[in-house]
Structure 1
Amino acid sequence: MTKVISAPGDLVVATIDGVDVRFAGIELTSDIPGHVQVGPGERGVKISLEAIRGHETGLRDHRYDQARLQWVERRRTDGAESAGPMPTMPGVLAFEPVEVQITDDSGTEYRLVAGQVAGDARMGRLP
């Protein structure tokens, strides 16, 4: 029997340093990272989370944009090695502390095999 549970559009599952993180979807998928050893026909579950846009996310995006421009200028004037690593995207800082746990009524054992913070540097999405 399939059980479907719906959630409100902005189901907040975590708040990290003033940024609300919402549940954005769940998907049964066969798109499993290549480094994971799985048997034929095995599938995975993909959980998506998103930051809810607001004042705090806007501030973080602005600070990141400024830091990135400064970093680009340092690379241009002082060289790549002197400039150091690119500033950390604000989405990474917001999503890194979030942990996902999946359970079901059948007692299935789920294990985390991969994680990724995605986006174009805007406070965004954890697929």
Structure 2
Amino acid sequence: MSSQHVIAIFGGAVAGSEAAAQLSAQGKRVVVFDQNALPYGKIESGLPKWHYKLRDRQEALIDQKLNHPLVHFVPKIKLGRDIDFEEIYKEWGFSAILLATGAWADRPLPIEGINDYINKGLYYQNPFVQW
């Protein structure tokens, strides 16, 4: 690629779209990859139906951030399935790669015996994620 910075972002929802907006505002070219057809992440699947106003507002905000001449959105591409990270890193010529794939799964704490405390004072976030 040219000397112009081009940044790859994996995940187009809240964090990915905000990063794309910040980078494109600085004149950087951005390619946003998302595993879904639409870039809404938990907003699309995690909000109860009665929160339609909040959903509509958040989706519109993401759309606005991704609708910039320097931002290109690529749907239905999953890192590790459709594109290999090493190939993206070594061969595609991106200046930087940002992983903004969200909290689709809880990550256990790397502490011996920690699982003994799950639901006894230790709670992971995903059972509580609601808007």
TM-score class normalised by the smaller sequence: under 0.3
TM-score norm. by structure 2 comes to 0.23
Structure that is richer in helix per residue? 2
Larger radius of gyration: 1
TM-score norm. by structure 1 comes to 0.24
Structure that is richer in strand per residue? 1
